[in-house]
Structure 1
Amino acid sequence: MKKEDKFRLVIVTGMSGGGKTQACRYMEDLGYFVVDNLPAVFIPKFVELCKHAGGHVGKVVLVVDTRSREFFDTFIHTLDDMDRDDVPYEMLFMDASDPVIIRRYKETRRRHPMAPSSRISDGIAKERERLAPARAKATYIIDTSELKKVELRDKIHRLFGTNEGEQMSINVLSFGFKFGMPLDADLVLDVRFLPNPFYIESMRHKSGAVPEVAEYIAKWPVTQEFLKHLDGMLDFLVPQYVKEGKSQLVIAVGCTGGMHRSVFTAKHIYDRLAAKGYPVKIEHRDLMKNDVREHVREEC
C-alpha cells in the first residue's frame, strides 16, 4: 500500500513465540491501533467500521493467529475474499526457528496453544502446517531467531513507519530540587551554580522567563560559557537519540526552587530546539509552588 493512502491495514500473524507481541508494541509506538486475537471472520466488518470512523482510525494492526482455534480456519478464506474485493492490506508473518521457539516457551513456562497437554515440538509442527497457507500470502516475513529487540524495532520502523506523527517528541521540564527530582527524566541538568536572582528583592517574585530576570541571569560570563557548552551538547545528543529511535526525550533542568535559573535555562533549551524544528513542549513543574503572586502571566 502506498504511504499516501489514508487508511493502512496490517494483518500480523505467525508462529506462537515468533515475536508477534513485541512487533505489535513497536507498531503501537508508530501510532497504529492494535487489535489482538481478532477472529478472522470479523475482519471485513472491522475494516468497514474503521473506514467510516471519520479519519480517527488511520493505521490498524489486526493480530490473527492460531489462538482463535476453529475461527482460524476461516482466515485464508477471508483473505481470499479481501483479495477478490480489492481490499488493500499488508500481512506480516512473524517466525523463528523451532529450537528458538522451544527455548522461549521453556523460559516463559507457558503452554503452546497447539499442544496444551503434549510436547512443545508437537505443537510447533502442527502450527507450521496450519500456518503454511498464511505464510505463502505474507507481504513480509521476519525471522526473529537471531534478532535483538533493537534490530526488530528497526525492521518494523523501516517497513511500517512514515514521516507523520512518529518523530521523537521532546519535553523540557524545569523543577526545583527542594520539591524532588522528576522520575521520568532522561537528562537532568543542575543549574544551581548560576547567579541567583532570588537574592535581588525586585526579582524575587518574578520567574526566569520574565525579561528582566532572564537578562540578569544571562549577563554573567559563567552563564554565557555554560550556554555555549549546553548548545553544543544538545546539537550532538538530540540527533543521536533520534537516530537510535527514541520516541520521547525528557530534559529536566533544576535549580533550588524551580523558579528562576531552571525556568530561564529550560526556556533557552525550548527556544533552541523549536528553532531547529523539533516537536518540543515546555513545562515549569514547580513554578506555582513558589510565591509568584506577581507577573504570573509574564512567563513563557
Structure 2
Amino acid sequence: MNQTDGLTPVKPAESELLVVTGMSGAGRSTAANALEDHGWYVVENLPPQMLSTLTEIVSRTPESIPKLAVVIDVRSKELFQNVQGSLAALRTAGITYRVLFLDAADNTLVRRFEQGRRPHPLQGDGRILDGISAEREVLQELKHASDLVVDTTQLNVHALATTITELFSDSGPIVLRLNVMSFGFKYGLPVDANFVADVRFIPNPHWVPVLRPQTGMDEPVRDYVLEANGAAEFIDRYVNALEPVLEGYRRENKHYATIAVGCTGGKHRSVAVTEEIAQRLAQLPRVQVTAHHRDLGRE
C-alpha cells in the first residue's frame, strides 16, 4: 500500500479510478454493465460528497479493487452542486482519475424517455425537454472538464457496450485512442468532436459523373481527392499540428479524442481525407486509431 506518512492514502499508479457521468438517458447503466463485464468494480448512483470517502477506503487495499468505476448522476441538483469540489479534493490527495461523460442529442434523449415511459429526473411539472435543458446547464462545466466524451446518439445498447469495451477492456492504463470521423456538414456537426476539419475547399467528386456514385473508399475518388491542389499540403500540416496536441493529451491524462473531417455530404472528400489522416496518425507511437464514416451511405 502506498501511503504518505500516515496521511491520506495515495492511489497507486497501477490502479484506476473512472468517474462515469453524463446526461440521463445517454447510457450510464449500459456503460456500467459493460465495465463490470471487464473486471471493473462499479458503484452506481453515488452522491458526489461520498466520492472521496469511497476512494480513500478503496485506496487502503488497492490490490483488492484495482479498477474502480463510480457512476454519478444529477437526480439531485443540491447533491451535484459540489461535484467539482469533490473531484478537486481527489486530485489534492494525490488520487488520479478520469471522467467519462456520456451525451446524446436532445431528440434522442426524449425518445428514450418516452419509450421507457418514465419522467426526466429534473423535469418536475414541466416537459422532458425542460428537464434535459436543466440537466445540460448543471453538467456543462463537468462536460468541458471531462477526459472522454462519448456521443451515444447513434448507438444502441450493444454498440455502446462495444465502445466501452474498446476503451476500457485492456489491463492497465489505456493508450491514446483516436477516432477519426468523416461527416457531412448538411447532417450537422458531430457533438463529440474535439477537432473539426473542413475539407470543402477540395473540388467535389460529386460533380464528376463517373465518380458521383462512388465513395471516398474507392480508389478513383481517393486519388481525385488526395491529388487535388492543396490536399496533400493540408493533410501534412494538419497531422503535424496534431502531434503536440496529442502529446499534451498524454501529459494531461486524457486518453481519447475524436477528430472530425467534414465535407458537404460525408461521402467523397471527407471519407478519403479521413482514411489518409487515420493512416498517418496510426504511425505515431502509443496511439490507437480507428476510422469511422458517420454519414456514408446516406442519400
* TM-score, normalisation: structure 2: 0.51
* Structure-2 residue corresponding to 1:19: 27
The structure-2 alpha-carbon separation of the partners of 1:40 and 1:146, relative to structure 1 and needing over 3 Å to count, comes to same
Shift, 1:26, TM fit = 0.3
Work out whether 1:114 is the aligned partner of 2:100.
no
Partner SS state of residue 141, structure 1:
strand
Larger displacement relative to structure 2 (55-64 or 101-110) = 55-64
Work out whether 1:157 is the aligned partner of 2:165.
yes
Tell me, in whole angstroms, the C-alpha distance in 2 between the residues paired with 1:54 and 1:107: 41
Shift, 1:65, TM fit = 1.4
Tell me, in whole angstroms, the C-alpha distance in 1 between the residues paired with 2:171 and 2:61: 23
* Structure-2 residue corresponding to 1:136: 144
| CA contact 1:114–1:126 (8 Å) conserved in 2 | yes
Select 2:87's aligned residue among 69, 75, 79: 79
Partner SS state of residue 79, structure 1:
helix
* TM-score, normalisation: structure 1: 0.51
Tell me, in whole angstroms, the C-alpha distance in 1 between the residues paired with 2:84 and 2:171: 32
Partner SS state of residue 91, structure 1:
strand
Partner SS state of residue 102, structure 1:
helix
* Structure-1 residue corresponding to 2:224: none
Tell me, in whole angstroms, the C-alpha distance in 1 between the residues paired with 2:136 and 2:40: 27
| CA contact 1:34–1:63 (8 Å) conserved in 2 | yes
Work out whether 1:103 is the aligned partner of 2:111.
yes
| Mapping of residues 13-92 of structure 1, within 5 Å | 13-53=21-61, 55-92=63-100
The structure-2 alpha-carbon separation of the partners of 1:112 and 1:81, relative to structure 1 and needing over 3 Å to count, comes to same
Tell me, in whole angstroms, the C-alpha distance in 2 between the residues paired with 1:113 and 1:36: 16
Partner SS state of residue 67, structure 1:
coil
Partner SS state of residue 75, structure 2:
helix
| CA contact 1:38–1:68 (8 Å) conserved in 2 | no
One-letter amino acid matched to 1:38? L
One-letter amino acid matched to 1:76? Q
Tell me, in whole angstroms, the C-alpha distance in 2 between the residues paired with 1:36 and 1:68: 14
The structure-2 alpha-carbon separation of the partners of 1:91 and 1:155, relative to structure 1 and needing over 3 Å to count, comes to same
**Structure 2: runs of 5 or more not aligned:** 1-11, 173-299
| CA contact 1:35–1:63 (8 Å) conserved in 2 | yes
Tell me, in whole angstroms, the C-alpha distance in 1 between the residues paired with 2:126 and 2:43: 29
Larger displacement relative to structure 2 (14-23 or 69-78) = 69-78
Shift, 1:154, TM fit = 2.3
Can you list the C-alpha shifts for 1:132-151, whole angstroms capped at 9, x where unaligned? 01101111011110013332
Tell me, in whole angstroms, the C-alpha distance in 1 between the residues paired with 2:158 and 2:118: 24
Can you list the C-alpha shifts for 1:266-286, whole angstroms capped at 9, x where unaligned? xxxxxxxxxxxxxxxxxxxxx
Shift, 1:69, TM fit = 3.3
| Mapping of residues 1-300 of structure 1, within 5 Å | 5-53=13-61, 55-163=63-171
Tell me, in whole angstroms, the C-alpha distance in 2 between the residues paired with 1:114 and 1:163: 37
Give the structure with the larger helix fraction. 1
One-letter amino acid matched to 1:11? V
**Structure 1: runs of 5 or more not aligned:** 165-300
The structure-2 alpha-carbon separation of the partners of 1:124 and 1:33, relative to structure 1 and needing over 3 Å to count, comes to same
Tell me, in whole angstroms, the C-alpha distance in 2 between the residues paired with 1:163 and 1:111: 38
One-letter amino acid matched to 1:59? K
One-letter amino acid matched to 1:162? D
Can you list the C-alpha shifts for 1:21-78, whole angstroms capped at 9, x where unaligned? 1011100101111111111111111111111135111111111111143111110111
One-letter amino acid matched to 1:150? H
Partner SS state of residue 92, structure 1:
strand
* Structure-2 residue corresponding to 1:271: none
The structure-2 alpha-carbon separation of the partners of 1:159 and 1:39, relative to structure 1 and needing over 3 Å to count, comes to same
The structure-2 alpha-carbon separation of the partners of 1:49 and 1:163, relative to structure 1 and needing over 3 Å to count, comes to closer
One-letter amino acid matched to 2:34? Y
One-letter amino acid matched to 1:111? P
| CA contact 1:37–1:68 (8 Å) conserved in 2 | no
Partner SS state of residue 21, structure 2:
strand
| CA contact 2:27–2:157 (8 Å) conserved in 1 | no
Tell me, in whole angstroms, the C-alpha distance in 2 between the residues paired with 1:141 and 1:54: 27
Q: Flag the structure with larger Rg.
A: 1
| CA contact 1:9–1:88 (8 Å) conserved in 2 | yes
One-letter amino acid matched to 1:112? H
One-letter amino acid matched to 1:99? N
